Amino acid sequence: MKINNLKKLIQSGSIHLKNSCVIEIIGDKDKVFDLLQGQVTSDIKLLEDGQSQLSCICNHKGMIMADFIIIFDGECYKLVVKENIEDILIKELTPFANLSSVKLLKSKLKVIGTISHTKIPNSYLSNELFSTCVDLKDAYESNNEISEDVWEASNKLLGNYFLEESDISKFRPQELNYDELRVSFDKGCYRGQEIVARMRYLGVNRRKFLTFVVNDDYVDSEDIKLIGNKIKINKNYIFNGIILRDQLDTIKKLPGIELIS
């Protein structure tokens, strides 16, 4: 697929992400920082005022329990998470929050997702074609609204997969490209860190998480394990899948495949 066609596939605009919600972490700023830095896989030291960051938490076996976007406004940290994962994330963090005298509050703020064909200062992910960001608002109006499918597809094309409830505790970061987008290997310890690091430096990863863009000629292949849903945008379907690395050249030749990234 040509670059121009790929750019046309993803419309710029914004959307109220009604299936996403916000958890606000309330307490002493240093205690909140220590809580998050000791639990999440990303390095929140890198967050500056107004920035956001992809992240997740794992259990002691290194399995992903929840994924989210961290937003820092200079004073407060907020977690943007899918609504069906919110209670799971709160359950995972609550014991540690209690020890830190920190509170987790469900916020009524609306989550607004934006796609732009230019760079966005508070973008959590971008490439040469477009950027994505989330903002938190009390109210929302837009003259250039995009669909939820376009939002999901743009994230898939950026290599970012949003966890489904059925995915919880089934994958380690390396299996979903989270090791590239949501994990810092330079920060200190967090739950599951030893296993996640061991898999990166000592393990042999025979599988690869990819994004596929296909047309109607494509027929589902048993060599591609579908992860999440297929999304139809115009005449194309966009989806994530896991393959064996040594089968990549063969899979590229399958009818109907326009792009693998």
pLDDT, one tens digit per residue, over 12-51 is: 999 999 999 999 999 999 999 999 999 999 999 999 999 9
Give pLDDT tens digits for 75-126. Answer: 899 999 999 999 999 999 999 999 999 999 999 999 999 999 998 989 999 9
Q: In CATH, what number does 9-201 get?
A: 3.30.1360.120
Give the pLDDT score at 96. Answer: 95
pLDDT of the residue at 205: 80
Task: Indicate the pLDDT class of residue 4, thresholds 50, 70 and 90.
Answer: low
pLDDT at 3 over 80: no
- For 35, 67, 87, 248, the CA distances from 169, given in Å and listed in that order, are 21, 11, 15, 27
Q: What are the residue ranges spanned by the domains of the chain?
A: 9-201, 206-260
Give yes or no for residue 6 having a pLDDT over 80.
no
Model confidence over 214-258: pLDDT tens digits?
A: 999 999 999 999 999 999 998 999 999 999 999 999 999 999 999
47-55: which pairs have CB atoms within 8 A and are 24 or more residues apart?
A: 47/72, 48/72, 49/73, 49/74, 50/74, 50/121, 50/122, 51/122, 52/80, 52/122, 52/123, 52/124, 52/133, 52/134, 53/124, 54/124, 54/125, 54/160, 54/181, 54/182, 55/182
- For residues 156-179, average pLDDT: 96
Over the stretch 190-225, which tens digit does the pLDDT of each residue have? Answer: 999 999 998 877 777 889 999 999 999 999 999 999
Residue-level pLDDT at 116: 95
Q: What is the pLDDT of residue 142?
A: 80
Task: Please give the DSSP secondary-structure letter assigned to residue 145.
Answer: B
Q: Is 107 exposed, middle or buried (0-12, 13-18, 19+ CB in 10 A)?
A: middle
Is residue 49 within 8 Å of residue 72, measured between CB atoms? yes
